[in-house]
Amino acid sequence: MTLLMGVLNVTPDSFYDGGQWEDEEAAVARGSAMIDEGADIVDVGGESTRPAAAPVAESEELRRVVPVVKELAQRANGRARVSVDTRKRAVAQAALEAGATIINDVSATLWPLAAEARAGWVAMHMRGEPSTMMSLANYSDVVTDVKEFLVERAELAAGAGVPEVWVDPGIGFAKTTAHNLALLARLDELVGTGWPVAIGLSRKRFIGVLASGGEHEPAPTGDRLEGSLAGAVWAMVKGAAMVRAHDVKATADAARLVGAI
């Protein structure tokens, strides 16, 4: 069965759930609900990495993330795992000390810490920084470029002693709609590397672009559930080991059907 990672952003500005879970109690309640709804992992993030997002200071990210990770890890009590979505070593380290067991790393650089702490590690492909990445969306062959990058990082991490590694093509990170579609259409090439593949496409822009027919403004984030579920089901059928989603109940229901088939 594909693992389901629920998205919990404790930020004011994440592209979909920004501002909803800034309050610690609200965040912990939402994370607990996700576990009840079927999340295997709750992914706590304190910095938006949407295109053009401004970076967040380390002290602020620590303040946002650590108490929520700590409380959720306690409440989860072995029923689910907590991951930390960060590019900062200090934030990842503090979250691991607070009970997280996976570093979800969109910078794909934190494997030395994952090795040291014997933590799981998700390595995601992107280029540049969120503020610049969309100007770097040019590839000779996006699938081959992304695959080569991820396999190299995964081998480095495993060689350093990271006990669990996932590779994630980074849908929407320095990728156009055509790049995202190519990565999904040819997901078997990434799955075929043998590394467990993680996919995050929930409510992302390309889904809105397709929903609106491509000729108008992308459909708003609130109108992207159906496309998100179709994408999640596609990834599951194609062999993804983990799907990252905001809508945990709907995605868990879809995963159950796929699993049963």
Q: Does 94 bind ligand HH2 (CB under 6 A)?
A: no
Quickly tell me which residue has 């938006």 as its tokens.
48
Residue (74 or 189) nearer to ligand HH2, CB: 189
49 binds ligand HH2 (CB under 6 A): yes
With respect to ligand HH2, which residue has the nearer C-beta, 7 or 76? 7
249 is catalytic: no
Assign 3-class secondary structure to 197-208: EEEECCCCHHHH
Q: Measured from the CB atom, is 85 or 247 closer to ligand HH2?
A: 85
3-state SS assignment for residue 13: coil
The partner residues of 243 in beta bridges, in order of sequence, read 4, 199
Whether 195 and 154 have beta carbons less than 8 Å apart is answered as yes
Binding span for ligand HH2 by CB under 6 A among 3-11, 132-140, 185-193, 249-257: 3-11
- Report if residue 85 touches ligand HH2, rule: CB under 6 A: yes
198 belongs to the binding site for ligand HH2 (CB under 6 A): yes
Q: Which is nearer to ligand HH2, 5 or 94 (CB)?
A: 5
C-alpha dist (Å) from residue 191 to 12, 17, 197, 239: 35, 29, 6, 6
244 is known as an active-site residue: yes
Q: At what angle do helices 24-37 and 248-260 cross, to 10 degrees?
A: 20
**Which residues are designated catalytic?**
204, 244
Please give the residue ranges that form the binding site for ligand HH2 (CB under 6 A): 7, 9, 11, 14-16, 45, 48-50, 85, 104, 106, 122, 124, 168, 170-171, 198, 200, 244
